[in-house]
Amino acid sequence: MPATLLDLLSNSLVLHHTAPYLPVAATLALSRTSKSFRDLVLHTPDVFRYLDLSTVKSAVVPYTPIDIGGNNWRAERMDEALTEDEFYSGPLRGIFSKLERRHLLRNVQTLVLDGLSVPADLVREIIAEDRYSVRVLSIRDVKNLNERKLRQALNYAVRPSRPEGTPRLKALYVFGPRDSTPAEGPPKPTRSPPRIPTPSGVTTSQGAQIGAEWNEKSAQALTAALARTTDKWYQPAGRIFSKRPSYDWADTLQACEGIIYFDAVLCRGPRHSAPASSTSPAYAYPTQPQTYLRPAVASIALGSAGCATCGSCPETPAVFGQSPLTHLPLLSPPPLHASTIRAAQLPATLDGSPPPRLIVRCEDCLRGRWCERCNKWWDEDCYQGLPNSTRTELQQQEAIENMMAQLDSSYKRDVKVHMGLCIEKCYVSEMMAVTDGMWG
């Protein structure tokens, strides 16, 4: 007897590996084909463990409120009793109550709502209410989310007096961009590479464009190969987020530490250690007592190479499997086959080698010590930095230009980064380009 699809999917291992790839509509369609499939789909917890609603049309709020001519869209389109949040969460609430009626909602452990309309109240319910069992939640690039209310909900969920075993939520993806190809598994060969915008004046022939695309592609491939992983966090990728997370978010991350993990981490640069607790000599900077920095989200990925002088960093790089989980960000996309922190943090290396080192810092820590072009940087132990407060930007620039003109090597040695560029390579080439432009 040849194996049927039902036989195949009744194998729990096969089902476990197949279910996350099936769109929810296909899963439900399957359940309607026969009683056996219906039993399989509705009574195997694994089938709805991973639920990605980001591509489900009925999850989208049907129209966007546009206040044309001073008309209150709410008065026209909404029930009197409906709050704004309820209105915006309507489609998702509808889906959740359908799932709940079929006793499927409690099986959902990884929930992806990227790009949808997700008000903070809905997130609060997902975190707090017993009918949900969500452990990994992704709400990247969502609409109608009040971040302040979301932070309040998170702070409340992790309060010291919270009931034991709560919150069930362990992982929250909220900072990074949503994945462009949601959960399609291993990347397929690209059919038509995306066009790179060509500045006017540069040749726009197809050949030149393909050349530019391939240059871009090979640069990305080279960076990934050097970092041994395609994950941006582990590459010298520079700024990770399109919007820098606020200090309020840093406070929330600190409150949630060890309870809820994020697709971001706090910067561990030595200047964030409170002066009172800086007992370790490595963390004490007596020469710069005024430079204590408040907690901040690390938003700049520096790659594993470390400081350009010593090859490391005073806070020691984070390494998956060795460092505390709180030092590691959740990686994108949310894992398909397990709803655990470990699966979400594990960096996939290209050659199967051990996980690379993670060095990430906040913007404040790197001011004047990181080259935004080549990503070289110098840590606090190896470079004091310029006393920014005593000189204006203009005075600094003048001083540097004078020194450069005199080819004073001692000054070049003393100043490593100026205006976001490393002096030894990128600033010099920038200045030469400017000079060429003036005389050439």
- In our burial notation (b when 16+ CB lie closer than 10 A, e otherwise), range 320-336 reads beebebbbbbbbbbbbb
Short-list 24, 77, 76, 72, CA closest to 47? 24
Can you name the residues that pair with 229 across neighbouring β-strands?
349
CB 370 within 8 A of CB 300: yes
Minimum distance from CB of 22 to Zn ion (Å)? 42
Short-list 418, 423, 313, 427, CA closest to 361? 313
Minimum distance from CB of 422 to Zn ion (Å)? 3
Q: Which is nearer to Zn ion, 59 or 358 (CB)?
A: 358
Block residue for tokens 């020691």: 316
Minimum distance from CB of 362 to Zn ion (Å)? 3
Structure tokens at 402: 């004078």
| DSSP 8-state secondary structure symbol assigned to residue 423 | I
Q: Which is nearer to Zn ion, 306 or 355 (CB)?
A: 306
Minimum distance from CB of 191 to Zn ion (Å)? 36
Nearest-angstrom CA–CA distance, 93 and 48: 17
Q: Which is nearer to Zn ion, 166 or 312 (CB)?
A: 312
Minimum distance from CB of 294 to Zn ion (Å)? 9
Q: Which is nearer to Zn ion, 18 or 309 (CB)?
A: 309
Minimum distance from CB of 408 to Zn ion (Å)? 20
Q: Which is nearer to Zn ion, 173 or 427 (CB)?
A: 427
CB 314 within 8 A of CB 380: yes
Q: Which is nearer to Zn ion, 142 or 422 (CB)?
A: 422
Neighbours of 189 (CB within 10 A): 4
Block residue for tokens 């499927």: 104
How far apart, in Å, are the Cα atoms of 117 and each of 82, 123, 393?
A: 16, 11, 43
Give counts: helices (H), strands (E), the chain: 15, 12
Minimum distance from CB of 379 to Zn ion (Å)? 4
Minimum distance from CB of 292 to Zn ion (Å)? 11
Q: Which is nearer to Zn ion, 24 or 382 (CB)?
A: 382
Residues near Zn ion (CB under 5 A) are: 267, 269, 307, 309-310, 362, 365, 371, 373-374, 379, 382, 422, 425-426
Structure tokens at 405: 């003109």
Nearest-angstrom CA–CA distance, 197 and 103: 49
Q: Which is nearer to Zn ion, 145 or 359 (CB)?
A: 359
Can you name the residues that pair with 111 across neighbouring β-strands?
51, 137
